[in-house]
Structure 1
């Protein structure tokens, strides 16, 4: 049967430069692993002849950084987006978000089998061509904007229940999204940068079989600019800081040393500072997502402000023994709720009496918050999340919002065996939605793990998502036949 289609602890700190002059930027970080091994620079490449490359070098990025960013993102993106990509890579490299604990994950036999299967020839021509990132990255369209795509043809296997929704970083190594798409029934990814739906960038790819017409935005709508999100900063915002959007929210934090250096650099000048100071300050503010909180005072975002930008309720991650560092890490790894809710909004008329959800790698409950804000009743949520901190955050949200449904939590995905999935489905009537995004340690543009794509120890959990989804599909078909 086809699916209905509806038309105070130490924070991770990165050392900054010791002076304002960026002209001597070094290559201390090895940016070669921003690309997969077969994606390395051609020695005869003419990227260095382009104005974008020269602009990046003039901004203080190394020649290697500029070349790799252009190779990965293409020549048709703006200098600002290329700079954002490099900064995100630099920040992510220093973040615990991308530092894999070798003891944290055991080898998974099922994952190994999936990796072997993934190397087989594609069964369809739908994903033979390389998946390319769109520019602008607006998916099938934006709320209240013309030019929406309201219909797409799904491959036949993807039209079977349940609905599925899988998220991961857009800027993954070469070949990763082709593999993800192929193993998720040849559904093409929808790439969205959340800067088009809120005040902060977040480039993500989503593979799903949801309808795409009649989407709507949750209310109240998010703030679209920095000054709308933080109105008190407007008084102190320099006219020469032209930012209206923040970069991707990650788990690293600017040091007090940097913000003091900015203050000292500005206080040396009466009135407007010279161009080289303005350039340095704006580059640091953009790189570290700093906002203006006083005269010559730039400050990093607080966890409460991150919650706001990501669409979570106030104090979602606050209290209950959760440290500031843990809040930063959890928020940096989360969904952007407004974006996900826009995609899931099509489910509201389809499930007026509530929905059963299987939530894999739940994090702090971005999918659950999105469904709640859409006022879609959650009759059942089976959640798999290894972090105790994140599980506690989800439980607190569940209780504080007076959810009437049942929340069942598993610590590790291996606890969700095939037989356990079948047992849960028979007991509770199946799942309507399988949602999740596996850890991106080996996929993100810059990290301290080997950039090994889906074969990495953390990112290979994607194959567990595929295994579980296939069991749910097969069990759903059996239940409907009986």
Structure 2
């Protein structure tokens, strides 16, 4: 039986870090002679490629990397993926090491990492990015916004290739015009470059060629969904209309438990088939592939998602979408956790550099920073004056944001410990204690942010004074159960479905430690939970008051650029198991009501 992981960020064995194509060749001589006088033997496309590489070399040299290392990195991984290039550069020894002064054409060997150690060089990025870029008044803390340009670029490349444009030409055009350029601009630019050589040779036909370019661009846009004024909805290749769902910016949900963030009232209407018991609550990453949330919403009775970034509730970002049929009025005004990093961990203030302006952590990951990153930060800063040069500050802050590093000593930045992640996510102290550190990071990185979920579920406290029966799907380490217990809601019975044995062990330990008086019934796989079993437990327990869970996001998260295929992915398609099980519960409970079951 294959393991299912309810991951925000894909760190499974199937996660691939290979680039989609071969790295483009690059040479020191070619780049250095880019502006040299004399006749050029390069065509326009080659010039664009080398100009992009030349600009990239200047940027990374300005950040403090050696030019030789940058050129070697470009030759190995190409210049189209800036973050992959940066990760590769960090594997080389930095200025001040012995091998740098004796640099040869072979360069310094990348730093090796022992297989299977806790310090494995993981680069697990969870970046479920905003469609509109960085949020106002945000300190930009973390990698939630670092990968969005690459994700957007991948989607545009795929779409333009489906239109018949060559991949290399698409890549050059996006590099030239920018990843934020509209599809109309990109299409026009590609056609213009295709006809540029013809225009040079046949100036007398310039007007005719220009008209031809514009007509072809217009036809392509019309066929594949481009729009000149943005007034017409884009259409899929099969001609069906796409009803895209734009993410709000900022993500503050329907309301927040904070006077400083008063939001306008929301007028939400639920369809009849979604009203009342059982209440349901579904969660997943907000920044999924285009149209994913529209499809999820359409499947779950057309209910509008509530998008929330938990940085408005606690000291760490976590951008999530929630679809539920809970009331949104009369949520309880619950005490808020500490709002900033140093309010949460004041003991770090002594060593926190003034040039590190982070106030919030990035979304917590399922793995910790590799030792190679923390080592070069310490080595780099130890050899420099205080404060270090801006280029070094930029490089260090980038890694601190990416890996959520904290300062525990002079020039010493280290990853968060598991108990610190528990505090940020709202779990009890030592909730995950007793399992390996690797499992702790993975389980916590895949969990609910408890303060956010508790606020949403708070409307249930007055509705169920005698306790609740809960069907918990993809239970993880019991985020839903912890949230309800925090509200003082008695758990009369919980049917928990969770595939990870480690997570089941953590939930069961919490159940015993908190001396729950209700019944805990455990299943290990939503796919194996039959209709008959669902019906049996629904009738036996008198129906469920709440069906809650969040299916795996392995094929949805922005970090998983090679398998980010949406709801048809092997893991993320389990969303439809959530809907299947919810449907069976609703059907059985409707029958119970018709039969006059007094418990209903």
Normalised to the residue count of structure 1, the TM-score between the two structures is: 0.76
Following superposition of structure 1 onto structure 2, how do residues 212-361 of structure 1 map, counting pairs within 5 Å?
A: 212-219=328-335, 221-319=336-434, 322-361=435-474
Q: Is the 8 A contact 2:297 2:305 kept in 1?
A: yes
Deviation at 1:233, TM superposition (A): 0.4
Determine the C-alpha separation between the residues in 2 that align with 1:287 and 1:457: 27
Match of 2:572, SS? coil
| 1:85 corresponds to 2:144 | yes
Q: Is the 8 A contact 1:14 1:254 kept in 2?
A: no
Determine the C-alpha separation between the residues in 2 that align with 1:300 and 1:71: 22
**2:254 corresponds to which residue?**
140
Determine the C-alpha separation between the residues in 1 that align with 2:396 and 2:381: 9
Q: 1:70 to 1:355 in 2, by over 3 A?
A: closer
Q: For each residue in 1:455-479, what CA deviation from the matched residue of structure 2 results, as whole angstroms up to 9, or x when unmatched? A: 0010010000000111111111111
Q: 1:260 to 1:419 in 2, by over 3 A?
A: same
**2:243 corresponds to which residue?**
129
Deviation at 1:449, TM superposition (A): 5.4
Match of 2:483, SS? helix
Determine the C-alpha separation between the residues in 1 that align with 2:338 and 2:128: 31
Name which of 514, 521, 543 aligns with 1:408: 521
**1:381 corresponds to which residue?**
494
Following superposition of structure 1 onto structure 2, how do residues 411-430 of structure 1 map, counting pairs within 5 Å?
A: 411-430=524-543
Q: 1:324 to 1:384 in 2, by over 3 A?
A: same
| 1:74 corresponds to 2:132 | yes
**1:372 corresponds to which residue?**
485
Deviation at 1:71, TM superposition (A): 10
Following superposition of structure 1 onto structure 2, how do residues 90-129 of structure 1 map, counting pairs within 5 Å?
A: 129=243
| 1:156 corresponds to 2:156 | no
Q: Is the 8 A contact 1:167 1:436 kept in 2?
A: yes
Determine the C-alpha separation between the residues in 1 that align with 2:128 and 2:554: 22
Q: 1:360 to 1:164 in 2, by over 3 A?
A: same
Q: 1:83 to 1:325 in 2, by over 3 A?
A: closer
Q: Is the 8 A contact 1:441 1:459 kept in 2?
A: yes
Determine the C-alpha separation between the residues in 2 that align with 1:380 and 1:202: 29
Q: Is the 8 A contact 1:128 1:178 kept in 2?
A: no
| 1:395 corresponds to 2:508 | yes
Q: 1:428 to 1:470 in 2, by over 3 A?
A: same
Deviation at 1:217, TM superposition (A): 4.5
**2:179 corresponds to which residue?**
none
Q: For each residue in 1:301-350, what CA deviation from the matched residue of structure 2 results, as whole angstroms up to 9, or x when unmatched? A: 1111100100000000011xx11101111011101000000100000000
Following superposition of structure 1 onto structure 2, how do residues 14-53 of structure 1 map, counting pairs within 5 Å?
A: 20-21=64-65, 24=70
Q: For each residue in 1:136-168, what CA deviation from the matched residue of structure 2 results, as whole angstroms up to 9, or x when unmatched? A: 100012112222536522122211421000000
Moved more, 344-353 or 228-237: 228-237
Q: Is the 8 A contact 2:492 2:518 kept in 1?
A: yes
Moved more, 190-199 or 208-217: 208-217
Moved more, 249-258 or 143-152: 143-152
Q: For each residue in 1:19-68, what CA deviation from the matched residue of structure 2 results, as whole angstroms up to 9, or x when unmatched? A: 94399585669879xxxxxxxxxxxxxxxxxxxxxxxxxxxxxxxxxxxx
Q: Is the 8 A contact 2:130 2:145 kept in 1?
A: no
Deviation at 1:86, TM superposition (A): 4.7
Match of 2:547, SS? strand
Q: Which has the larger radius of gyration?
A: 2
Determine the C-alpha separation between the residues in 2 that align with 1:435 and 1:28: 44
Q: 1:29 to 1:164 in 2, by over 3 A?
A: farther
Q: Is the 8 A contact 1:160 1:473 kept in 2?
A: no
- Which consecutive residues of structure 1, in runs of 5 or more, have no partner in the other structure? 1-10, 33-68, 93-126
- Which consecutive residues of structure 2, in runs of 5 or more, have no partner in the other structure? 1-11, 18-59, 83-126, 152-240, 596-600
Deviation at 1:77, TM superposition (A): 4.3
Deviation at 1:218, TM superposition (A): 4.0
Match of 1:250, SS? coil
Match of 2:424, SS? helix
Deviation at 1:392, TM superposition (A): 0.3
How many residue pairs get aligned? The number is 398
Match of 1:222, SS? coil
Name which of 284, 287, 312 aligns with 1:168: 284
Determine the C-alpha separation between the residues in 2 that align with 1:378 and 1:149: 32
Determine the C-alpha separation between the residues in 1 that align with 2:561 and 2:129: 21
Determine the C-alpha separation between the residues in 1 that align with 2:311 and 2:133: 20
Q: Is the 8 A contact 1:254 1:288 kept in 2?
A: yes
Name which of 444, 451, 467 aligns with 2:580: 467
Q: 1:22 to 1:332 in 2, by over 3 A?
A: farther
Determine the C-alpha separation between the residues in 1 that align with 2:449 and 2:129: 27
Match of 2:323, SS? strand
